[in-house]
Amino acid sequence: MTRESNKGETYRHAPAFILLFLARENLYGAALLSKMQEELPRCFADSAVIYRSLQELEEDGSVEAYWETDVSGPARKWYAITAKGYERLAQFKEDIEIRKKNLEFFLKSYKIIVKKD
Amino acid sequence: MTRESNKGETYRHAPAFILLFLARENLYGAALLSKMQEELPRCFADSAVIYRSLQELEEDGSVEAYWETDVSGPARKWYAITAKGYERLAQFKEDIEIRKKNLEFFLKSYKIIVKKD
DNA sequence: ATAATGTATATGTAGTTATCATATAAATGT
DNA sequence: ACATTTATATGATAACTACATATACATTAT
């Protein structure tokens, strides 16, 4: 492998997980990142992934944004999931179920191969 | 999203799954691809992924190759997993367990959000 | 006043990965 | 001879990732 760096562990989950978190509550970018880092077993996101994915989701119409300027500190751009975002979230869910099955196939087969728990 | 094409669903599993299949039995590229397409819920691999990943794994020392020329049809390049390949497979297993947890987090949260089975 | 710090959004860019199409080659069928 | 089948391999473009860096505003310290 050219890739011995052990980097590149995000696996394109970003939009799916962002929509998931926004389905629970409206969030601005930095808060979204914090929540993900707290709650995900291994968080795949850094601020670049978050902000760029949010931009893409906004262009796509999956989320809507509004600025909060009346708080202390720099303005926050809050995001809310839209009807289209819920549709995409449902599609991601179908996709993730299949991906999970693939991973389960791997782990089941691995267990047989190494013959130990 | 710039990416409305609904393509790009491989998520970098290729080397992990190739090593898994080679841990069960030696295979040549085309046979490996067939097995994967049969056994994986959604196969992420096409022949380009298979052959390029096999090359990378060979350069890496994770697999060894030998040619079979005494069969009908074009020569087959068989692959066997090495000790180093088993090490990498074990690393992939650790990685996949965590990724599975992320997906389970997604599905569990999704279930709560949509409030239906 | 102004300099440093903290919070938040955003982008530059180089390296890596994925996709689809296409190329090469040998044996077999007609 | 020519097309078909099986098999390995690569070219080119698009997409994605990672880490660094930039921009901006407000608060706090000097």
Which of B42, B106, B114 is opposite residue A16, by nearest beta carbon?
B106
Distance CA B54, CA B113 (A): 42
Residue B7 confidence (pLDDT) = 46
Asked if strand C contacts B4 at the CB level, meaning under 7 A, the answer is no
Shortest CB distance from A1 goes to which of B20, B56, B97? B56
Cross-chain CB nearest to A23 (options B9, B97, B113): B113
Cross-chain residue pair B44–A102, CB shorter than 8 Å: yes
- pLDDT at B27 (0 to 100): 97
pLDDT in tens, chain A (117 residues): 333 343 445 556 899 999 999 999 999 999 999 999 999 877 878 899 999 999 999 999 999 999 998 878 899 999 999 999 999 999 999 989 988 999 999 999 999 998 765
Comparing C-alpha atoms, which of A84, A80, A109, A13 is closest to residue A53?
A: A13
Domain covering A3-88, topology: Arc Repressor Mutant, subunit A (1.10.10)
pLDDT value of residue A13: 84
Q: Is the dihedral of CA A28, A31, A35, A37 positive or negative?
A: positive
Using the predicted structure, report yes or no on whether residue B8 has a pLDDT greater than 50.
Answer: no
Of residues B22 and B5, more confidence is placed in: B22
Q: Using CA atoms, how far apart are residues A40 and B104, in angstroms rounded to an integer?
A: 10
The residue of chain B nearest to residue A12, with distances taken between CA atoms, is B11
Please report the residues numbered 53 through 82 in chain B whose beta carbons come closer than 8 angstroms to any beta carbon of chain A: 56-57, 59-60, 62
| Protein chain B, residues 65-84, with a C-beta closer than 7 Å to any atom of nucleic acid strand D | 73-78
Angle between helices A47-60 and A83-114 (to 10 degrees): 130
> Cβ distance B81 to B62 under 8 Å?
yes
The model's pTM is: 0.87
pLDDT at A92 (0 to 100):
92
Tokens for B9, please give them.
């669903």
Domain boundaries of chain B, sorted by first residue: 3-88
